[in-house]
């Protein structure tokens, strides 16, 4: 069971992070800032400050951030819908 969870985690991060554009990272960090808690907002700051290697390390350590706050998340979709309505 642990192996499956690790494999799924590794697969999710490598497949998604390779496709992320600078716009995707912007959406991710904006969503984290707007909807996340204190730790999440600090992690968003770290992602913004990181070079590409460290950005990948952060997202590999916390793949749920992509799932919860990434461009395909419900939070990101809500945030983008709000911006379109303005």
**Number of domains the chain contains:** 1
Neighbours of 45 (CB within 10 A): 13
24 DSSP assignment: H
CA distance 18 to 48: 17
Name which of 30, 65, 63 is nearest 48 in CA terms: 30
- pLDDT tens for each residue of 23-79: 999 999 999 999 999 999 999 999 999 999 999 899 999 999 999 999 999 999 998
Say whether pLDDT at 83 is over 80. no
- Say what the pTM is: 0.73
Name which of 79, 82, 81 is nearest 33 in CA terms: 79
Predicted pLDDT at 17: 46
Structural domain boundaries enclosing 28: 2-85
| Contact present, 28 and 65 (Cβ < 8 Å) | yes
């Amino acid at each position: 069971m642990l192996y499956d969870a690790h494999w799924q985690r590794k697969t999710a991060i490598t497949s998604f992070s390779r496709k992320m554009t600078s716009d995707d990272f912007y959406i991710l960090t904006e969503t984290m800032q707007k909807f996340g808690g204190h730790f999440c907002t600090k992690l968003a700051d770290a992602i913004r400050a990181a070079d590409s290697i460290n950005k990948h390390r952060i997202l590999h350590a916390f793949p749920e951030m992509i799932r919860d706050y990434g461009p395909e998340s419900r939070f990101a979709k809500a945030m983008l819908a709000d911006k379109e309505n303005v």
